[in-house]
């Protein structure tokens, strides 16, 4: 391996684990009002979006992450018409939401306008024109503040934010108080979907805490996981609702809804994948069943120091 550190990007998976990515070219580096941002062309995963030294998505496998985050809640809901996205600067989450022909309105709220502009410039294949869709509304403000001040309700609320770091822009969007606000902004059959961090056996703090905190608010909480290579391994998500459960959907029902909604461009998700996502291995089921950290405004979770 070439020992020149300028030719390798270090993605810190945790305090104890670093993943190295070869750098072919640094396309952009800078700092917005809220966070550091880089666009790096890597040897294995194409272009990478890096925020505060953490990979947020890669050109090669972003479809796995974004379909896993968006499609299970969207397909679980029988008729999702209104969707709220917190974060999602690349526009790929918005892309997946708008792929459903049932959607009439998609509101995306990201605090960092500069990140969206940079992603539009360097990562156009992530959004694929979703920002120009007439059903899309994009606002540059704090997502929690937007929901608190508004009266609108949504069928689906998707939390596509970086992991919480101290003084970072997202840590107050993982708390019980925020999830209580989300619950008030969901329709009767509404669903929240949250990216919940690493599902690797030695790095479960975020995943278990998000799951436990959601359970303090919602009667139905379904954690799930899939492997995302550019993130360093298995990644966790949580889906929560007052009335709907994804585990009750059969393979055939999922495939039928995919067909009815003309979801023709899916590369990762289908009925069989849906069953696998929620079929967690025993060690994860046991760990998630234990009492965990309750994330609150007064006792937030920080995965990394800023």
Which residues are catalytic, by number? 160
DSSP lists the bridge partners of residue 57 as: 49
Query: Buried (b) or exposed (e) across 132-167, using 16+ Cβ within 10 A?
Result: ebebbebeeebbbebbeeeeeebbbbbbbbbbbbee
Q: Give the residue from 143, 155, 237 showing the smallest Cα distance to 191.
A: 155
Tokens 């306008």 identify what position?
113
Q: How far apart, in Å, are the Cα atoms of 2 and each of 5, 6, 7, 20, 54? A: 8, 10, 8, 12, 22
HSE-up of 80 (CA within 13 Å, CB side)? 31
Residues 283, 114: Cα–Cα separation, whole Å: 41
Residues 51, 31: Cα–Cα separation, whole Å: 9
């Amino acid at each position: 391996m070439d020992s020149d550190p300028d030719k390798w990007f270090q993605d810190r998976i945790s305090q104890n684990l670093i993943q190295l990515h070869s750098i072919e070219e640094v396309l952009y580096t800078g700092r917005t009002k809220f966070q550091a941002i880089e666009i790096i062309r890597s040897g294995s995963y194409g272009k990478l979006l890096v925020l505060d030294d953490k990979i947020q998505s890669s050109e090669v496998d972003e479809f796995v992450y974004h379909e896993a985050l968006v499609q299970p809640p969207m397909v679980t809901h029988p008729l999702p018409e209104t969707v709220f996205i917190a974060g999602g600067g690349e526009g790929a989450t918005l892309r997946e939401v708008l792929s459903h022909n049932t959607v009439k309105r998609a509101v995306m709220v990201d605090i960092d306008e500069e990140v969206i502009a940079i992603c539009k410039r360097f990562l156009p294949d992530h959004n694929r024109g979703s920002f120009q869709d007439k059903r899309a509304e994009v606002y540059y403000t704090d997502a929690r503040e937007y929901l608190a001040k508004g009266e609108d309700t949504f069928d689906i609320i998707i939390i596509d934010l970086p992991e919480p770091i101290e003084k970072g822009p997202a840590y107050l969007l993982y708390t019980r108080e925020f999830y209580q606000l989300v619950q008030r902004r969901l329709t009767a059959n509404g669903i929240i979907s949250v990216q919940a961090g690493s599902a690797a056996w030695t790095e479960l703090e975020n995943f278990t805490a998000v799951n436990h905190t959601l359970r303090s608010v919602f009667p139905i909480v379904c954690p799930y996981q899939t492997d995302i290579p550019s993130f360093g391994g298995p990644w966790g998500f949580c889906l929560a609702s007052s009335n709907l459960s994804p585990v009750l959907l059969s393979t055939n029902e999922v495939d039928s809804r995919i067909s009815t909604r003309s979801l023709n461009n899916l590369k990762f998700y289908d009925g069989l994948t849906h069953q696998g996502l929620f079929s967690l291995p025993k060690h994860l089921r046991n760990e998630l069943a234990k009492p965990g950290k309750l994330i609150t405004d007064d006792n937030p979770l920080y995965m990394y120091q800023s």
